[in-house]
Amino acid sequence: MSKNVNSTQFRTVDVDAYDEDNYEDEAKETGDSGAAEVTERANQVRGLLNQLKTKEALKMALQNPPVGNKDASVKEQNYETVVSVLKSFKAADIDGAVADLDMVEVDILMKYLYKGFTCSPDKAASLLQWHEKVVAKGGLGSIVRVMVDRKGI
Amino acid sequence: MTTKTEQQLFVGSPVTSHAFNGALDKLVVSDNSTTVYVYAKDANGKWTKETELQKHIERVKCVDWAPKTNRIATCAGDRNAYVWNLNETTGVWEPSLVLLRIERAATYIRWSPAEDRFAVGSGARLLSVCFYENEHDWWVSKHIKKPIRSTILCVDWHPSNYILAIGSCDFKCRVFSSALKETNDKPETSGWMPKLSKFATMLAEFSTQGWVHSVKFSPSGDKLAWVAHDASINIVHMNNHDTVIRSLTPSLPLLTVIWASEDSVICGGHDNFPSLFNIVGGESVSKGIRLDVKGKKAGGGMSAMARFKALDRTGDDTKDASLDTTHQNSIIELRVKKSDSAGKCSQFSSIGMDGKIVDWNLDALASSIADLKI
């Protein structure tokens, strides 16, 4: 049979761009962190970790994530802060730390865990240890809220 | 008192929508096909099929029964809605077409409290409020379009008949005025509508992270509750739109919500059981109390034949494949059946994707579950 030599360029057309009623998320001004706050928080967390105050460090790291920020490096920086705290925990202490968090912080931690699964798959084993404890506290609902989140953390 | 009575209405299809008549002895249901069925309660209290209403050419998405005027409204993917009137002499339900003027499927339909109009939500990103025009003897619709940006999933009427709430796929729950000049409406101001507003004026807008699956006004109409796909329950009081009481539940997303009293809601969804949530101190929502008490399976043992069959097929002869909840699949809709004048619910029903309809008795449940307080 003859080979198809016609152009398949049409497959790369973004049809949504031509749809007048296409749904776009609103770009809302929210009170989440800017670059300065993220750096400030990173320093504070490092300080707490040096004093071996791991639980306080975790709570601090999960405050006000830069969700609405368009700058990827700011989000990356906050992610590194959270990962550094998670790394500093011994397996036995994870339970106690998760018990201290409220539901909003549990949701934020879950979002960072899933970001960790995609960005740092090599750390998956330790992240899964955290995942088990966080699901025990936040339930399947906290996982659903990660899936449903439209703005990446 | 039995806490619940279940009945397998359909085998192999879900019950996608249901509604009761005023006397609660008749039921209208859809099974995700083009046919609508009317069931009647027989002498044993079981639902038996009475008639079939066949007019839609695409699957029926939603049904509603107006209890006082005894009319059934149905809407379907064929972009049409029908109002069915019972011919007293022949006992036949006669359909009359409603001109919705929508370009996409109709998704939800609800009669207003006064039953002089009904609202139809659609995938065309607009709501049609339909009322009867006497001169032409048909139902006409007026649209609420702005600023809804995606498919409407649920609608609820305020007891005043002039305000409605819409939940849609654009992650928002909104409250609109539906006061029509054509029907000589004389609305009053309230917490939801501080200034008299004309039809389609948006009175409030609330955001969530997921699709809003179900929205309901409280019995007095002062509060509004909605459940969304981010597994949250949200409640707001009309006098304070800025404070939304949000409960991030640890369960799977809830699909339907009803008010059990002025301060408590019952929700059901992908977890297959209804749960009761109390509003504590007007500020927060309590942990959900599961209303589907796990009953111990009587007997528990399988017959010898069943054991060998299971052993042959799956290599395991001990597992029973059914779930320990009454509904074997998600609960699609809850309906308040009986409630007193203060709005305290005593009986409600649930339908699920497993094709079952379950009748729940809240008074009996209250005595059987230890810490259940409504």
Residue in chain A closest to B211 (alpha carbons) equals A148
User: What's the one-letter identity of residue B290?
Assistant: R
- Tell me the pLDDT band of B194, cut-offs 50, 70 and 90: very high
Residue B234 confidence (pLDDT) above 70: yes
Residue B262 confidence (pLDDT) above 80: yes
Q: Considering chain B, what is the average pLDDT of its residues? A: 91
* Set of chain B residues whose Cβ sits within 8 Å of the Cβ of A107: 248
Kindly provide the residue ranges of all beta strands, DSSP E only, lying in A29-137, ordered along the sequence.
Answer: none
What's the rounded Cα separation, in Å, for the pair B17 and B11?
Answer: 15
* Set of chain B residues whose Cβ sits within 8 Å of the Cβ of A142: 248, 250
The mean per-residue pLDDT over the stretch B127-148 comes to 91
- Tell me the pLDDT band of B214, cut-offs 50, 70 and 90: very high
pLDDT of residue B101: 94
Whether the CB-CB separation of A63 and A45 falls below 8 Å is answered with: no
Q: Considering chain A, what is the average pLDDT of its residues? A: 89
CB contact under 8 A, B250 and A107: no
* Set of chain A residues whose Cβ sits within 8 Å of the Cβ of B232: 141, 145
Q: What percentage of chain B exceeds 90 in pLDDT?
A: 77
Residue B74 confidence (pLDDT) above 90: yes
Count of CB pairs separated by less than 8 Å, A with B: 45
Helix (H, G, I), strand (E, B) or coil at A110: helix
Choose among A21, A138, A149: nearest Cβ to B250.
A138
Whether the CB-CB separation of B15 and B352 falls below 8 Å is answered with: yes
Task: Tell me whether A55 touches chain B (CB under 8 Å).
Answer: no
C-beta atoms surrounding B221 within 10 Å: 19
pLDDT of residue B181: 87
- Tell me the pLDDT band of B238, cut-offs 50, 70 and 90: very high
CB contact under 8 A, B210 and A148: yes
pLDDT of residue B368: 78
Neighbouring-strand partners of residue B37: B29, B52
Neighbouring-strand partners of residue B98: B81, B139
- Residue B313, CB half-sphere, CA atoms under 13 Å: how many? 10
What's the rounded Cα separation, in Å, for the pair B114 and B212?
Answer: 26
What's the gap in Å between the CA of B185 and the closest CA on chain A? 33
CB contact under 8 A, B248 and A144: no
Q: Give one word for B68, left, alpha or beta, with left for phi > 0 and alpha for psi -120 to 50.
A: alpha
Neighbouring-strand partners of residue A118: none
Choose among B125, B149, B248: nearest Cβ to A141.
B248
Residue pLDDT, tens place only, B13-35: 999 999 999 999 999 999 999 99
Tokens representing B150 are: 């995606």
Task: Tell me whether A139 touches chain B (CB under 8 Å).
Answer: yes
What's the rounded Cα separation, in Å, for the pair B139 and B117?
Answer: 9
* Set of chain B residues whose Cβ sits within 8 Å of the Cβ of A138: 250
- Tell me the pLDDT band of A1, cut-offs 50, 70 and 90: low
Tokens representing B6 are: 């279940």
- Tell me the pLDDT band of B296, cut-offs 50, 70 and 90: low
pLDDT of residue B345: 94
Q: Which H or E run includes B57? A: none
Task: Tell me whether A152 touches chain B (CB under 8 Å).
Answer: no
pLDDT of residue B137: 81
What's the rounded Cα separation, in Å, for the pair B89 and B165?
Answer: 38
CB contact under 8 A, A141 and B170: no
Residue B122 confidence (pLDDT) above 70: yes
pLDDT of residue A69: 82
Choose among A23, A144, A150: nearest Cβ to B231.
A144
Whether the CB-CB separation of B153 and B121 falls below 8 Å is answered with: yes
Residue B299 confidence (pLDDT) above 80: no
pLDDT of residue A62: 92
Helix (H, G, I), strand (E, B) or coil at A93: helix
CB contact under 8 A, A145 and B209: yes
Whether the CB-CB separation of A107 and A138 falls below 8 Å is answered with: yes
Whether the CB-CB separation of A141 and A110 falls below 8 Å is answered with: no
pLDDT of residue B45: 87
Global pTM? 0.90
CB contact under 8 A, A141 and B249: yes
CB contact under 8 A, A140 and B250: yes
* Set of chain A residues whose Cβ sits within 8 Å of the Cβ of B149: 21, 23
* Set of chain A residues whose Cβ sits within 8 Å of the Cβ of B210: 144, 148
Residue B300 confidence (pLDDT) above 60: no
Supply angle C-alpha B256, B257, B260, rounded to 5: 150
Calculate helix-pair angle for A124-148, A72-87, nearest 10 degrees. 130
What's the rounded Cα separation, in Å, for the pair B283 and B277?
Answer: 13
Supply angle C-alpha B129, B133, B134, rounded to 5: 155
Q: Which residue carries 């400030």 as its tokens?
A: A40
What's the rounded Cα separation, in Å, for the pair B57 and B55?
Answer: 7
* Set of chain A residues whose Cβ sits within 8 Å of the Cβ of B150: 23
pLDDT of residue B311: 81
What's the rounded Cα separation, in Å, for the pair B106 and B75?
Answer: 6
Higher pLDDT, A20 or A52: A52
Residue B118 confidence (pLDDT) above 80: yes
Residue pLDDT, tens place only, A59-106: 999 998 988 788 889 999 999 999 999 999 998 999 999 999 999 999
C-beta atoms surrounding B136 within 10 Å: 8
CB contact under 8 A, A139 and B230: no
CB contact under 8 A, B125 and A21: yes
pLDDT of residue B166: 97
The mean per-residue pLDDT over the stretch B40-68 comes to 95
- Tell me the pLDDT band of B357, cut-offs 50, 70 and 90: very high
Higher pLDDT, A72 or B121: B121
Question: What does the DSSP 8-state code read for residue B293?
Answer: -
Whether the CB-CB separation of B285 and B226 falls below 8 Å is answered with: no
pLDDT of residue A142: 95
What's the gap in Å between the CA of B62 and the closest CA on chain A? 25
Q: What percentage of chain A exceeds 90 in pLDDT?
A: 60
What's the rounded Cα separation, in Å, for the pair B25 and B40?
Answer: 6
CB contact under 8 A, A141 and B231: yes
Residue B298 confidence (pLDDT) above 80: no
Least confident of B55-64, B123-132, B244-253, B293-302: B293-302
